[in-house]
Amino acid sequence: MKWDRSAWTRGRVLAGLAVVTAGLLAFHRVVPNSVGHVGSLLEQFLPWFGLVVVVLLVLALLRRSAVTLVALLLPVAAWTYLCGGLLLPGKSPGAHDLVVVQHNVSDENADPAGTARTLAGAQPDLIALEELVPAALPGYAKVLAPHYPYHAVRGTVGLWSKHPLTGTRTVDIKPREITESWERGLRAAVHTPHGEIAVYVAHLPSVRVGASGLGSMRRDESARMLGRALAAEKLKPVILLGDLNSTVDDRGLTPLTSRMNTAERGFAFSFPAAFPVARIDQVMARSATVTHIRTLPETGSDHLPVAARISLGR
């Protein structure tokens, strides 16, 4: 392929798109949320901007545009800074690691027992479930009981553990607009061989994308309430497991991500199960490190389960 001087003048539009892509990646917090929560909507899909870079690279090569190739260094650098670390291999398990599983099992799941077997197959220390319904609860409990003798359920969320639980209580994260019965948060102290830790399980309200943008007001209010509960927690370390209905880049989860560590390795897109485009099922920690996160095989839910390894040694 021959390149000539015109390579520095061709593809200026592509070069401009590369600069815009870099700007959105590097300064996504500047995109306003005042109209339709556009900023939060953008932040759901930041990892996928890598595909935009690939498309621009192919077009730049087809156009033989040197100026676009140079401009693409900007979004490549921005994407690598934001997401590149998630591609690195997970670190070797440590002596003080816990394995946890988080799953929204779906209130329409027709195979609770099969779902429970899939989750237990990852051999975690803790299993957090959301969208538990009374009719399905015995199916989960029967399969999990032999290896997870300690469990707690509050409303539609539950926690199964290999280690003893104490101090279990409901965490109030119900938005003011919701008047019906609504329990989607619990807290328990887990007595592990490495010490006592506080574990929170939460299911934040769903968001909807419509003509007016991203409808996330209830989710954001619930996140603020959960953030206050985490700030008041006296135990260290703390683990948060839940369907938070958002990615960790979304500013709507700032009350949580400002207080908790998120996964260092792994994308683990969990929703929708048929074609996952985002990880809205989260594992976070305080005074501990989420060293790696991955998805588990599909169950009868519209979410994929995620499994994470947590280091308590740093």
The angle subtended at Cα 244 by Cα 238 and Cα 247, nearest 5°, is 100
CATH 3.60.10.10 domain extents, the chain = 97-311
Q: Please tell me the distance from the alpha carbon of residue 218 to that of residue 177, in angstroms, as a whole number.
A: 8
CATH architecture for the domain at 97-311 = 4-Layer Sandwich (3.60)
Q: Please tell me the distance from the alpha carbon of residue 141 to that of residue 248, in angstroms, as a whole number.
A: 30
Q: Please tell me the distance from the alpha carbon of residue 155 to that of residue 171, in angstroms, as a whole number.
A: 11
User: Using CB atoms within 10 A of its CB, is residue 247 exposed (0-12), middle (13-18) or buried (19+)?
Assistant: buried
pLDDT digit string (tens) for the chain, length 314 residues: 566 667 777 889 999 999 999 999 999 999 998 877 889 989 999 999 999 999 999 999 998 999 999 999 999 999 999 999 998 886 667 656 899 999 999 999 999 999 999 999 999 999 999 999 999 999 999 999 999 999 999 999 999 999 999 999 999 999 999 999 999 999 999 999 989 999 999 999 998 776 666 778 999 999 999 999 999 999 999 999 999 999 999 999 999 999 999 999 999 999 999 999 999 999 999 999 999 999 999 999 999 999 999 999 75
User: Nearest 5°: phi and psi at 125?
Assistant: -80, -35
The pair of structure tokens assigned to 256 is: 């949580």
Helix intervals (H) in the chain: 12-26, 38-43, 49-63, 66-71, 73-83, 112-120, 137-144, 217-232, 254-257
- pTM of the complete model: 0.92
The pair of structure tokens assigned to 284 is: 């976070």
DSSP states of 156-198 as a string? TEEEEESS-EEEEEE-----TT--S----EEEEEEEETTEEEE
CB 274 within 8 A of CB 304: no
Handedness of CA 120, 172, 164, 255 (dihedral sign): positive
CA 107 to chain centre: 20
Position 263 scores a pLDDT of 94
Q: Please tell me the distance from the alpha carbon of residue 32 to that of residue 16, in angstroms, as a whole number.
A: 21
Q: Count of CB atoms within 10 A of residue 4's CB?
A: 9
Beta pairing partners, 186: 170, 201
